[in-house]
Structure 1
C-alpha cells in the first residue's frame, strides 16, 4: 500500500463504517487513478471533497435531512446579526475622545477596530451587489480582519476593541460562512439593510453624549441584549417551523448556541463568578466561560447527530423462538 493510498483511506474515515465497507475501495481507487504520478499527498480539493461527502453521507444515515437547510438558516441569522453589530461599532469608532482627554486613539478613530468593521460593511454590500462566488469570500475576509486585530494591536501598541466584542463577531462570522449561494434577492439585501439599521441606531443613541470607549458605552449590555434577541428569534422560528414538520430551525438553534453564548459572555461569566448581575467579571471567569462556550457549543451538533442516527436505526430483528 502506497503512502497516497494510506492517506486517502484515512480521509475515508469521514464516511460511516457501513458505507466504507461497501464502497471504500471503489472511492479510493477512483482518486488514485486520477492522481498525478509521484503524488504522495491527496490534493486539497480531493480532501475537501471526501470530507464533504462523508459529512453528507453521515447526515443522510442519521436521517437529519433538515440539517443543511438549518445551516443556511443559521448563516442568514448570523450574518444579519454580525452586520448590524458592525454598523453600531462603526459609529463608535468614528467618535474618538477630543484631544487632551488622555484616551488612546488611532488617528481619527477610537481603535484599530475600524478596519474590521469596514470589512463587515463591505461583506454586507457584497451580499447584495456582487456575484455569488464573492459572498463567502467577503465574509471570510471580514472574519480574518477581525481575528487580525489582536496580533496587530500587540505589534503596534495601538488600541483595539476588547476580546468580548471580537469573539462573538468571529463566532457569528464562522457560522455565516454557511450562507447559501442561492439566496433570493430580498435575503441578499437584508445584511446591508441590517448594517444601515445598526449605523442609524448607534448614531441616534450616541447623538447627545458619547463616552469614546467600548466599555464606557456598556458594550457588554448591548451584546447581551443582542444575544437575547437572536435566541428569541431562533427559538420562535424553530417552534414555528417544527409545527409544520420542518426541523431546520432546531438545527439552526444548535448551531447558533455558540455565538449566542459568546454574545452573552459577560452575563454568563458573571453568573459563573457568583455575580449574576455584574457585567465586569474577572478575567479568569471570562476566559473560563469563553473556553466552555467554545468547546461545549460545537460539541452539541455531532452529539445531536449521533442521537438522531441512533433513533433512526432500525431495531435489530428478534431471535426466532
Structure 2
C-alpha cells in the first residue's frame, strides 16, 4: 500500500463504517486512478470532497439530511447580522470624543477597530457582486483581521473594541463561511443593504447624541437585543417554512442559538454575575465558555433526537456522493 493510498483511506474515515465497507475501495481506487504519477498527498480539493461526502453520508445515515441546507440559511442570517453590526461600529468609529476631552483615540478614529469594520463592510459588497467562492475569501479576510486585532492593538499600544464586541463578530463570521453556493441576487444584496441601513441609523442617532461608546449599556443592552432579534427572525422564518413542510428553518434556528448566545454574553454575565458594580472579565469569560458549550450541545442533542425518530434510509441504489457510482 502506497503512502497516497493510506492517506486517502484516512480521509475515508469521515464516512460511516458500513459505507466504507461497501464502497471504500471503489472511492479510493477512483482517486488513485486520477492522481499524478509522483503524487504523495491528496490534493486539497480531493480532501475537501471526501470530507463533504463523508459528512453528507453521516447526516443521511442519521436521517438529518436537511441540516446542511438549514446551516446555509443560518449563514445568510449571520452575515446580515455581522454586516449590520459592522455598519454600526464602523460609523461610531468615525465620531470620537472631542480632542479637548483628553480621551485616548487613534488618529481621527475611536480605535483600530475601524480597519476591521471596513473589512466587514467590504465583504458585504463582495457578497452582493461576486461568486460565493470569492465572497468566502472576503469573509475570511474580515475574520482574520477581527481575530488579529487584539494582539496587534496590544503590540502597538493602541485602543481596540472590547473582546465582547469582537467575539460574537468572529462567531457570526465563522457561520457565514457556510454561505450557499447558489442564491439569488436579491438575497445576496441583503447583507449590504443591512449594513447601509445600520450606517444611516447610526449617523442619525449620532446627530441626536444617542450613540454611546463600546462600553456600558452598549454591551449589556444593545448586543443582547441584537441576539434576541436574530432568534426572533429565525423563529419566524422557521415557522413560515414549516407551514410548507420545509424543515430548513428549524435547523437554522437551532444553529443560530450559538451566535445569539455570544451576542447575549454581556447581558447574561450582568444578570448572573455579582451585584457589586460592573461585570468582571472573569464573569464574561465564564459566561462565554458556557455559551460555547451550550450552543453546540443544543445542536448535537437536536441531531440525536431527530436521528432516533427518523429511520435511516437504505444506501442501496443511491449514487455515491464522491464518484457517482451506484451500488
TM, length-normalised to structure 2: 0.88
Give the match's secondary structure for 1:100. helix
Match of 1:261 in 2: 261
Decide which moves more: 139-148 or 203-212.
Answer: 203-212
Decide which moves more: 140-149 or 162-171.
Answer: 140-149
Q: Work out whether 1:101 is the aligned partner of 2:101.
A: yes
Which sections of structure 2, spanning at least 5 residues, go unmatched?
Answer: 314-327
| Contact preservation (8 Å) 1:70, 1:250 | yes
After TM superposition, the structure 1 = structure 2 runs for residues 1-321 of structure 1, keeping only pairs within 5 Å, are 1-209=1-209, 213-216=213-216, 218-273=218-273, 280-313=278-311
Structure 1 vs Structure 2 CA RMSD: 2.2
Query: Partners in 2 of 1:77 and 1:19 — Cα distance?
Result: 34
1:302 Cα deviation from its structure 2 partner: 3.8
1:274 Cα deviation from its structure 2 partner: 5.2
Query: Partners in 2 of 1:246 and 1:23 — Cα distance?
Result: 31
Match of 1:318 in 2: none
Q: Deviations over 1:92-127 (max 9, x none)?
A: 100112223232211111011101110111111112
| Contact preservation (8 Å) 1:270, 1:279 | no
| Contact preservation (8 Å) 1:96, 1:212 | no
| Contact preservation (8 Å) 1:111, 1:158 | yes
Give the match's secondary structure for 2:204. helix
1:285 Cα deviation from its structure 2 partner: 1.4
1:210 Cα deviation from its structure 2 partner: 6.5
Query: Partners in 2 of 1:207 and 1:82 — Cα distance?
Result: 24
Which sections of structure 1, spanning at least 5 residues, go unmatched?
Answer: 316-321
Query: Partners in 2 of 1:45 and 1:228 — Cα distance?
Result: 38
Query: Partners in 1 of 2:30 and 2:241 — Cα distance?
Result: 41
Query: Partners in 1 of 2:264 and 2:277 — Cα distance?
Result: 10
| Contact preservation (8 Å) 1:80, 1:190 | yes
Q: Deviations over 1:181-219 (max 9, x none)?
A: 322121111111100111111112221336773115623
Give the match's secondary structure for 2:165. helix
Q: Deviations over 1:262-288 (max 9, x none)?
A: 10001222334255xx99422111111
Aligned residues: 313
Q: Deviations over 1:149-197 (max 9, x none)?
A: 1121121111110010001111111111111232212111111110011
Distance verdict in 2 for CA 1:236–1:65, change over 3 Å: same
| Contact preservation (8 Å) 1:211, 1:217 | no
Give the match's secondary structure for 2:290. helix
1:258 Cα deviation from its structure 2 partner: 1.0
Query: Partners in 1 of 2:152 and 2:96 — Cα distance?
Result: 19
Match of 2:320 in 1: none
| Contact preservation (8 Å) 2:132, 2:179 | no
Q: Deviations over 1:131-157 (max 9, x none)?
A: 443222211211111111112112111
Query: Partners in 1 of 2:158 and 2:212 — Cα distance?
Result: 15
Distance verdict in 2 for CA 1:232–1:119, change over 3 Å: same
